[in-house]
Amino acid sequence: MHRLIPFALAVFASPAAAAIEGERVQITGEVIDTWCYFSGVMGGPDAVVGSAHRTCALWCSAGGIPVGLLAPDGQVYMVLKMAGDDRTAGGDTSLNIAAHTIEADGMLYRRDGMNYLVVEKITADQDIINATHEDFGVIPGFAIPDSEALK
């Protein structure tokens, strides 16, 4: 019995052994900026998604803020890889689909109340289908500079 203890300690100390069991999932959702969504800094959750918030979503994605996938049931999945790309701190793959609704195939991990998603493949990209600008204008209001009105 005692001979098993060092082995058990070694297993629990190594990074790979710390991994938890994932679940293969297919999730459809919008690629969101998790800071604005969770913090309320720009307003309510309904206002910081879709076309109204698309420019801000670009800024936050380029700024290295984690992106999430917001499913229709309100669940948010924090994305740790997007289409196999682990450069989620400001990388191009997530930036190019900011505010798009995608269908994702990947592995889901849960820890401490949060959902973590490793998107292995984007099986469909529906582009931006959430036309929130019709209800909210643009969020934040300065997303479109005043100079655009003069053109």
Contacting residue, 9, 11, 124, 131, with other proteins by CB under 8 A: 131
Residues 6+ apart with CB under 8 A from 126: 100, 101, 102, 103
Q: Which of 67, 143, 134, 136 is nearest to 102 (CA)?
A: 67
User: Measured from the CB of residue 27, what is the shortest distance to other proteins in angstroms?
Assistant: 13
| Residue 78 touching other proteins (CB under 8 A) | yes
CA gap 49, 57 in Å, rounded: 8
> In whole angstroms, what is the distance from residue 63 CA to residue 90 CA?
6
Give yes or no for residue 24 binding other proteins (CB under 8 A).
no
**Is residue 6 within the footprint of other proteins (CB under 8 A)?**
no
Q: Confirm if 115 and 66 have CB atoms less than 8 A apart.
A: no
Residue 17, classed as helix, strand or coil, is helix
Q: Which is nearer to other proteins, 38 or 103 (CB)?
A: 38
Query: Least Å distance between CB 100 and other proteins?
Result: 8
Nearest to 98 by CA among 134, 68, 132, 143: 68
The single residue among 4, 13, 23, 112 that binds other proteins, judged by CB under 8 A, is: 112
The residue among 25 and 62 lying less far from other proteins, judged by its C-beta, is: 62
Residues in touch with other proteins (CB under 8 A) = 15-20, 22, 34-35, 37-41, 45, 51-52, 54-56, 58-60, 62-66, 74-76, 78, 80-81, 86-92, 95-96, 98-99, 107, 109, 111-116, 118, 127-128, 131, 133, 137-138, 143-146, 148-149
